Structure 1
């Protein structure tokens, strides 16, 4: 596949939106997968997964108020899943592809779920990575007991066509702790959705 140009050229890009300048990074080749980091408020550099980039064009989003993306005028208020979903929609519309996969890590998984429910039109698939279907006290108690697999199993049962990967030797950062199986499974999921 030849190197991409324009909004999907390798490197750092900035998309000017009405409320902020949204920065994103592009690495790799293959089907396009937008990666939304955890947080909120955490810079996304930790989410970089070179092994995954061997199979996919990964667009790493720096959500509003993090990294090189600008803050909201109401900072620190207003950073909601709806806001992040609107920004994802604008970025997806900006990219020269019809459909993308979303990868959401932790809080980014909440954003990806929200986006898939409210703006599914250009979504080819969603990878929920260390996320859950709920937030609040029950979620916090479950995490404290180190039983987060429960939420992954629940999502797996509820989402038609879902695939479940449990990385036995990882904590919250499987893409760093077990990069090969993580990349292999995400790439296989995206490939199956593009077939």
Structure 2
């Protein structure tokens, strides 16, 4: 079955405990070079299967949990190699987008139920784009969430400038923000897990809109976020698939927060303009974590898109 044919047959979760889609936590081994590396994933929800790939690289999968999507999708949350209870690569320089793409392919092959929906957030969106280019036949739809098709010097300069503006806007009332630019530009590959996690938690308020106005909601997420150092040590050229994006023929939702300082509307527009079947949604008063900031609206946007493209069937309504 191709992504353009009837999607009523999309795979769904099952209560069979022997199934790779039974609810709960699963661990598989994926061959990488001459070694087998463990990959852990978590299944929750009901409906067509959607794999979710978290960002960073190196941020633990937990922050990407999306209960709103679990109401109508079987969510498969992957713990990328180098994070959580998934394995570590023998050569830390090998944590690259092509490597993550190969491991994601290993998970989808293990499920043996293509085509599936693929959702990639931030750096996970880089992986999702590469996977869609390499294995379009295994996907029914693509959700590119707060991501970019390029991470060149211009991308990083824009991120630093946006962070500088965030600090300028908030430093008087929240002096802690004065260290955010330094945190953003820290060489994470020189740190351990505790150090990378501390950097992430330090600047987490910049990733949402109105952190201090909703601190009671967001502070628990800030305290629980984890970042793993190994995954920050990959080496390779900057990610750039702009010239290849017109080859993605999948139904694609490009979703970004208006106030996302790092992967906001500027980069979402590049994706939308280049991918022929892309649809763009910008969420107002929202940063880099729309599924945390505006979970109902986020789920409705994703569900409405999938329903309109024939991926969701039946009586679902936002």
Query: Same fold judged by TM-score > 0.5?
Result: yes
Aligned to 1:188: 304
Do 1:101 and 1:123's aligned partners in 2 also have CA atoms closer than 8 Å?
yes
Matched, 1:66 2:83: yes
Do 1:15 and 1:22's aligned partners in 2 also have CA atoms closer than 8 Å?
yes
- For 2:123 and 2:310, locate their aligned partners in 1 and report how far apart those are by CA, in whole Å: 24
Do 2:13 and 2:47's aligned partners in 1 also have CA atoms closer than 8 Å?
no
SS in 1 for 2:283: coil
Do 2:272 and 2:279's aligned partners in 1 also have CA atoms closer than 8 Å?
yes
Instruction: Give 1:157 shift.
Output: 1.6
- For 1:157 and 1:172, locate their aligned partners in 2 and report how far apart those are by CA, in whole Å: 21
SS in 2 for 1:12: strand
Structure 2 gap ranges (5+)? 1-11, 163-260, 313-318
Aligned to 2:191: none
- For 1:155 and 1:47, locate their aligned partners in 2 and report how far apart those are by CA, in whole Å: 21
The structure that is helix-richer by fraction is 2
CA distance 1:2–1:32, change in 2 (3 Å) = closer
Structure 1 gap ranges (5+)? none
Aligned to 2:142: 126
* Matched pairs, number: 194
Larger radius of gyration: 2
CA distance 1:136–1:117, change in 2 (3 Å) = same
- For 2:97 and 2:13, locate their aligned partners in 1 and report how far apart those are by CA, in whole Å: 35
- For 2:61 and 2:45, locate their aligned partners in 1 and report how far apart those are by CA, in whole Å: 16
- For 1:189 and 1:134, locate their aligned partners in 2 and report how far apart those are by CA, in whole Å: 25
Matched, 1:44 2:61: yes
Deviations 1:136-171 (A, max 9, x none): 211112223348211112211211221111111211
- For 1:16 and 1:135, locate their aligned partners in 2 and report how far apart those are by CA, in whole Å: 30
Do 2:13 and 2:49's aligned partners in 1 also have CA atoms closer than 8 Å?
no
Aligned to 2:26: 13
Q: Trace 1:2-151 onto structure 2 (pairs within 5 A).
A: 3-5=14-16, 6-18=19-31, 19-74=36-91, 76-143=92-159, 144-145=161-162, 146=261, 148-151=264-267
Deviations 1:49-73 (A, max 9, x none): 1011101011000000101101011
- For 2:46 and 2:149, locate their aligned partners in 1 and report how far apart those are by CA, in whole Å: 31
- For 1:193 and 1:66, locate their aligned partners in 2 and report how far apart those are by CA, in whole Å: 34
- For 1:119 and 1:98, locate their aligned partners in 2 and report how far apart those are by CA, in whole Å: 10
Do 2:79 and 2:86's aligned partners in 1 also have CA atoms closer than 8 Å?
yes
CA distance 1:139–1:7, change in 2 (3 Å) = same
CA RMSD for the aligned pairs? 1.7
